[in-house]
Chain A
Amino acid sequence: NAGVTQTPKFRILKIGQSMTLQCTQDMNHNYMYWYRQDPGMGLKLIYYSVGAGITDKGEVPNGYNVSRSTTEDFPLRLELAAPSQTSVYFCASSLPTWTGSNEQFFGPGTRLTVL
């Protein structure tokens, strides 16, 4: 299993540009998450999904959008990139909480710089 994969690894955007960060998992996990991590800080939840067709906002959703058309994929869309969105973005997945084993598996991250 590849686990959670993210593309691209690095990206530089100009202010106002848009892009999609890709995330795929092959563990058949229902739950998927997007976090951002700013230097020296913890992880802030942007959006999450408990299954295909279902998404919900996390702590810092402004400026982002997500979709979940399949169990495997959970892309994150940035519209009108701003310098404040410079960060490292992590995608994660887990089994549902009722399984009692809801540890999150993280992808390698995407380092995004907005200039």
Chain B
Amino acid sequence: GQQVMQIPQYQHVQEGEDFTTYCNSSTTLSNIQWYKQRPGGHPVFLIQLVKSGEVKKQKRLTFQFGEAKKNSSLHITATQTTDVGTYFCAAAIYNQGGKLIFGQGTELSVKP
């Protein structure tokens, strides 16, 4: 079936360092969503990107959608301990209704 590859699987950073996770699909996407899951918690929606080349910012988080709508990235500037968790991309394929295909996630740990 269709897959969404997300890398890296783990990232350990010192507090204040930057962090980036990447998401790639072999299929052109309708849109891509990003979720955060804290340890022991449930996924929480962060943002949705729809347009080719779209860039959105939420404070220290920058989200990008590739020109070909096949890849996306999430960049966190100057990480804080509150950023700890697993970040998932979730891809919506055309004509698949509301179904999302989740990447396997990037687990971020931040050392104070």
Contacts and interface: CB of A to CB of B under 8 A. Distances in A.
Pairing of A with B: yes
Interface residues of A, number: 28
A92 B100 CA distance: 11
B97 A97 contact: yes
Given A45-B99, A102-B98, A90 B33 contact: no
Given A42-B105, A97-B92, A90 B43 contact: yes
Contacts of A101: 48
B43 A106 contact: yes
Interface in A76-110: 90, 92, 94, 96-97, 100-109
A75 interface: no
A115 B43 CA distance: 27
A90 B42 CA distance: 8
A58 interface: yes
A48 interface: yes
B104 A41 contact: yes
A50 B104 contact: no
B112 to A, nearest CB: 24
A42 B102 contact: yes
B38 to A, nearest CB: 12
A74 interface: no
Contacts of B92: 97, 102
Given A43-B88, A90-B43, A103 B48 contact: yes
B99 A43 contact: no
Interface string A22-55: 0000000001010100001111110010100000
Given A42-B88, A97-B92, A105 B102 contact: no
5 contacts: A40-B9, A42-B6, A48-B99, A96-B98, A97-B98
Given A40-B104, A101-B48, A103-B48, 12 more contacts: A31-B97, A31-B98, A40-B107, A41-B104, A42-B6, A43-B43, A43-B88, A45-B101, A97-B97, A104-B33, A104-B45, A104-B98
Interface of A: 31, 33, 35, 40-45, 48, 50, 58-59, 90, 92, 94, 96-97, 100-109
